[in-house]
Structure 1
């Protein structure tokens, strides 16, 4: 059964969905010899007993990267993929436009070059300086958003068209100004509930408070998991790393949302 594009939790009204989940939970938890745990698939209600079964399932399983599931008794896309298989959740690998495809090609080439700060932890380096200068700011500043802008600008130059992205090195400034450029915003909860809304070539925005943020490009979507290409980070997935990296993140980590330029280009 395919993920229905919304968080499934207590009070769910779709009887067919509840029935399918109960059947799979009974199988996964081997409840045939435990009447106290066994769920009744003919009962269309998602009640407290079903929530406890979901939590038990989550506590016993891990996601596709080997990380523990969040034991909250709610079924999002990541838990759904473990219950019903990876093929039951949305997978997006194809960008929506030629510009976004070129954008990801350019970003992937920078990752393949293993761009790093020189010297370490300086927010400087031959490539890093160029990212910042292209975004209109002085070398030495945080550069994750400048990297995204540079990739957009390079892609636009290759295709001989205007760069649709806001010219900025500020993650939250980008979030605020993107709608005026015609870009669409996808808020975090919509993306968590329905990962099918998130597509390759979108820009993710994280808000760390105090005006600080982090950003990067979505390269692939597999249910509730993202493959990203980011600047000014590293394997720790922090906002002040030392290079361009390809990372895997849960959609739930993106606490601000996503910017979609596909309608502009």
Structure 2
């Protein structure tokens, strides 16, 4: 949820707050005006005060193109630049080194009434806050309110600059993290693809010839949950084919595998959930996703594609709905990098 200390009295916040030290109530409603709400009012009603805080309103407010909640169906939003720049293909966030793209964002924010000051190309604190201000009153090209995170991904870029005209077609900003060829990740994906449609025999039993082969790879017998065993089995086959080590922990317990992955020093790249949510491009095909579910349970699978932070995956012990207690190996589309249940991601090689 959005902090009421920032977003109280705005449409970005509805309820939920700490009512005393360490005690959170999801139903309590803050009676304090949030800092970003105040800043928005200052930008419009007290430009001199806003300027002293480092937020400079546009010089010609009558000509400012204000953020709009949606784009006309034909994509011809009058407020968008006639020749919009391309999305740089990576998320812009504090510390980004792409000065040219950051400067474009800063200049566009000024035109949209949320100036962070003189365009410097540095993704500094005023820029971060100005993006949040813009996001709090804007929507993406589908008309869905933007996530207020102060990060410029393809959706925020599209809200700022609009779609790109290519061969007379309006193309929305996007990014895709592509897998490298002839590496362990590619081999794992190829093996996992060959297992799609494997089913338990009988359904709901955690048994069957191939399911029990997955379980044997981590020393378990039929009848045990097998999503993590499926992951281990795929990596074991790919590692053997490429004659490289299989670094996936040899356990069928998802949370144990996640903890052990974080302790492997060589050949493993671990991305924590918070870092992935800030920059979804860190999640690449061939990585393993780890979810923490009720109690000590979890679910894991193999990422095959990442488009705008929405994942395509191959998962064992699941179904079309993504359950951890499904009946087979399925290809799924729709898990999000920023899922609140996510423990993190790991690349094992």
User: Which band: TM-score by shorter chain?
Assistant: 0.7 to 0.9
Greater displacement, 100-109 / 117-126: 117-126
Q: Which residue of 1 aligns with 2:238?
A: 155
**2:214/2:230 contact within 8 Å kept:** yes
Distance in 2 separating the partners of 1:185 and 1:3? 22
Equivalences for 1:204-215 in 2 at 5 Å?
Answer: 204-215=289-300
Query: Secondary structure of the equivalent of 1:92?
Result: coil
Q: Which residue of 2 aligns with 1:252?
A: 338
**1:2/1:88 contact within 8 Å kept:** no
Distance in 2 separating the partners of 1:151 and 1:4? 30
More relative contact order in 1 or in 2 (CA 8 Å, sep 6+)? 1
Query: Secondary structure of the equivalent of 2:289?
Result: strand
Q: Which residue of 2 aligns with 1:167?
A: 250
Deviation at 1:94, TM superposition (A): 1.5
Distance in 1 separating the partners of 2:280 and 2:116? 29
Q: Does 1:133 align with 2:221?
A: no
Deviation at 1:131, TM superposition (A): 0.5
Whose helix proportion is higher, 1 or 2? 1
Distance in 2 separating the partners of 1:78 and 1:49? 17
Distance in 1 separating the partners of 2:108 and 2:212? 54
2:264 corresponds, among 156, 180, 186, to 180
RMSD over aligned Cα, in angstroms? Answer: 3.2
Which runs of 5 or more residues in structure 1 are unaligned? 9-13, 27-38, 63-67
**1:55/1:73 contact within 8 Å kept:** no
1:79 corresponds, among 147, 155, 165, to 155
Deviation at 1:147, TM superposition (A): 0.2
Q: Does 1:235 align with 2:316?
A: no
Q: Does 1:261 align with 2:348?
A: yes
Distance in 2 separating the partners of 1:21 and 1:181? 42
**1:76/1:193 contact within 8 Å kept:** no
**2:135/2:156 contact within 8 Å kept:** no
Deviation at 1:142, TM superposition (A): 0.8
**2:273/2:342 contact within 8 Å kept:** yes
**1:78/1:225 contact within 8 Å kept:** no
Deviation at 1:184, TM superposition (A): 2.4
Which runs of 5 or more residues in structure 2 are unaligned? 1-86, 95-101, 119-125, 164-170
**2:177/2:305 contact within 8 Å kept:** yes
Q: Which residue of 1 aligns with 2:121?
A: none
Deviation at 1:250, TM superposition (A): 1.1
Q: Does 1:191 align with 2:271?
A: no
Provide the TM-score with structure 2 as the length reference. Answer: 0.59
Q: Which residue of 2 aligns with 1:11?
A: none
Provide the TM-score with structure 1 as the length reference. Answer: 0.75
